[in-house]
Amino acid sequence: MARALINAPAKAKRGEVIEIKTLISHVMETGFRPDGTGKPVPRDIISEFICKYNGEEIFRAELFPAIAANPFLTFFTVASESGTLSFEWTGDNGFTASESVNITVE
């Protein structure tokens, strides 16, 4: 399982716009880079990222080889209710990873 780091506030006021930062370890091999023998190294990237807030999708991104290794994504959401933020990454060669954090909204 790839290592994922999430940075989101554990507590927020209702209606507050919060910033969520995500980072996951992944090579993001582009498929355009030749190996020692001149053949291109096969593509191996994370192609999709989804963030859900209590099961409802709030942010989705399609990633392409032009995303740097160890994809880093920052986005925002409105703290509407206490619950969980879940994160899912899917990619080539059956890659999947998930992570979740709890948030308390007062």
Partner 1 sequence: MSRDERRLQRTRRRFLVETAALAGAAGIALPLAVEQTSATPASMRAAIKNIVGEAPLNKGKVKMDVPALIENGNAVPLTVSCESPMTQEDHVKAIHVFTEKNPQPNVIGAHLGPRAGRASLSTRIRLADTQKVVAVAQMSDGSFWTDEVEVVVTLAACLEGS
CB of residue 20 to partner 1, shortest distance in Å: 10
CB of residue 53 to partner 1, shortest distance in Å: 7
CB of residue 1 to partner 1, shortest distance in Å: 22
Nearest residue (CB) to partner 1, 36 versus 94? 36
Nearest residue (CB) to partner 1, 12 versus 99? 12
C-alpha–C-alpha distance, residues 75 and 57, integer Å: 13
* Three-class secondary structure of residue 81 per DSSP: coil
Point out which residues bind partner 1 (CB under 8 A): 17-18, 30, 32-36, 53, 56, 58-69, 71-78, 80
Nearest residue (CB) to partner 1, 9 versus 65? 65
CB of residue 66 to partner 1, shortest distance in Å: 4
Task: Produce one character per residue of 23-57: b if its CB has 16 or more CB atoms within 10 Å, e if not.
Answer: ebebebbbeeeeeeeeeeeebbbbbebebbbeeee
C-alpha–C-alpha distance, residues 55 and 2, integer Å: 22
C-alpha–C-alpha distance, residues 35 and 32, integer Å: 10
